[in-house]
Structures are given as structure tokens and as C-alpha cells.
Structure 1
């Protein structure tokens, strides 16, 4: 995966993942969706207090000719990683 989605992800509690939700007009981060697993226990999707939900998006708007819509940021990231070697023209939402 390299750094392709580094601007959309952060490391969170218990080595979990924070997925950026951005304002679609300005690109500013509005909040983060949090997912983690510790000792086999998974958290339910949580959202940052005071944040505003929008979409977690992976990929480039300008070069995308294909759109994949998923239930969560974690699902979108998993599909993006699985397709990474074969697809660079996709926007994962």
C-alpha cells in the first residue's frame, strides 16, 4: 500500500485505524471514524466527539473512472488494498 492513502489514515488506540472524514467541498477534515481490535475483541465503529460525519474516501477524484461504495472505511480500505496491484483508477468510498 505504501503511502498511497497516508493522508486519510492515522494510527489510533490499540493499534487501531482512524479514517478521515472530509468536507467534500473544501477537503478539510471534519472528523474521524475509529476501528480497533484488542485481544480478539473488536470495537463498534465510533466517531470522534465534536466531529461531523461525511465520507471516508480513498483514491483520486481526477483520475478515477470507477467507484466502489462500501459500508465502512475499513471495508473500503480492505478492497482498495486487495485491488492495489490491479487498479489505480478507482475511488473507494
Structure 2
């Protein structure tokens, strides 16, 4: 499997059932030293770095996002407005 170098959410590290971040070294094709060889882990999505243009949003748009999207007929501006209206981490509107 080809995996991009970077931080990923992994589950099963050191026998833990919680998700934890771990670094994948693509040159060595292995996880960082915190994961013993042979550990069965499940890898989730890669964690974007701060310099990447990514934003976490709800799986389903909120009412505020849908309302914001109605303000424009241009798809780019609609998308931009909906992302701006999305809940922000640490903003108190997480489930």
C-alpha cells in the first residue's frame, strides 16, 4: 500500500482502543517508534498540516451552513460561505 508521509489517526497502538496520532515514515514504510512491530493497528485519515488549505466540517451541513449557501448563486461563493458558517473546533458547538 502506498501511504503519504505524515501524521495519521491510528487505533490499536500499544493495545489502546482509542484513536491516537502517529507518524508514518514513507521512506521506511513504517510507523514511528511508538508502535511496536507486529501491533495490529487501524489507520484512519491523514491529519492535514497547518499549511494545507483544509477545514473540518460536519458530515451533514448545519442549518446555518445551508442558510449561508442560499445567499449566492455562484457555486464557489456558495461553498466559501457555507465553510465560513461551519462550526469551528473549540467553539462550543461540537456534539
TM-score range, shorter chain: under 0.3
Structure number with bigger Rg: 2
Larger strand proportion of the pair: 1
